[in-house]
Amino acid sequence: MVYPTLRSFNVLMLSIASYNGLNAAQCAVALMAQGVAPLDACVEGVTLVEDDPNELTVGYGGLPNEAGIVELDAAVMDGASHRGAGVAALRNVRHPSRVAQRLMEQTHRVLLVGEGALEFARTNGFVEENLLTERARRMWLYWKRHRSRHDDWRPAPEDELPPEDRDWLRAHLPGLAGTVHCSVLARSGDMACVTSTSGHAFKLTGRVGDSPILGAGLYVDNEVGSCGSIGHGEANLENLSSFLAVEFMRAGLSPKEAGLEVLRRVSKNAHHEQRDANGLPRINVHLFLLRKDGAHAGVCLHGQKHYAVADEHGARLEACTPLHS
Return d(Cα 69, Cα 130) in angstroms, integer: 9
Question: How buried is 179 (Cβ within 10 angstroms: 0-12 exposed, 13-18 middle, 19+ buried)?
Answer: buried
Task: State yes or no: residue 71 binds ligand GLY (CB under 6 A).
Answer: no
**Interface with ligand GLY (CB under 6 A), residue from 111, 230, 240, 301:** 230
Return d(Cα 58, Cα 97) in angstroms, integer: 11
Q: Which stretch binds ligand GLY (CB under 6 A): 42-50, 93-101, 116-124, 208-216?
A: 208-216
165-204 residues in contact with ligand GLY (CB under 6 A) are: 177, 179, 197, 199-200
Q: Specify the residue, 79 or 209, whose C-beta has the smaller distance to ligand GLY.
A: 209
Shortest CB 59 distance to ligand GLY, Å: 13
Q: Specify the residue, 26 or 179, whose C-beta has the smaller distance to ligand GLY.
A: 179
Contact by Cβ (8 Å): 96, 71: no
Task: State yes or no: residue 70 binds ligand GLY (CB under 6 A).
Answer: no
**Interface with ligand GLY (CB under 6 A), residue from 45, 59, 84, 209:** 209
- 3-state secondary structure (DSSP) of residue 210: coil
- Catalytic pick from 47, 133, 179, 197? 179
Catalytic residue flag (residue 179): yes
Return d(Cα 280, Cα 157) in angstroms, integer: 34
Long-range contacts (CB closer than 8 Å, 24 or more residues apart) made by 116-124: 117/87, 117/88, 117/89, 117/90, 118/90, 118/91, 118/92, 118/93, 120/87, 121/87, 121/90, 121/93, 124/99
Q: Specify the residue, 26 or 242, whose C-beta has the smaller distance to ligand GLY.
A: 242
Return d(Cα 299, Cα 262) in angstroms, integer: 10
Enumerate residues 6+ apart whose C-beta is below 8 A from 207: 65, 71, 89, 199, 200
Task: State yes or no: residue 211 binds ligand GLY (CB under 6 A).
Answer: yes
**Interface with ligand GLY (CB under 6 A), residue from 190, 210, 247, 311:** 210
**Interface with ligand GLY (CB under 6 A), residue from 231, 255, 281, 298:** 231
**Interface with ligand GLY (CB under 6 A), residue from 233, 255, 281, 298:** 233
Residues that bind ligand GLY (CB under 6 A): 177, 179, 197, 199-200, 209-211, 230-231, 233
Known catalytic residues?
Answer: 179
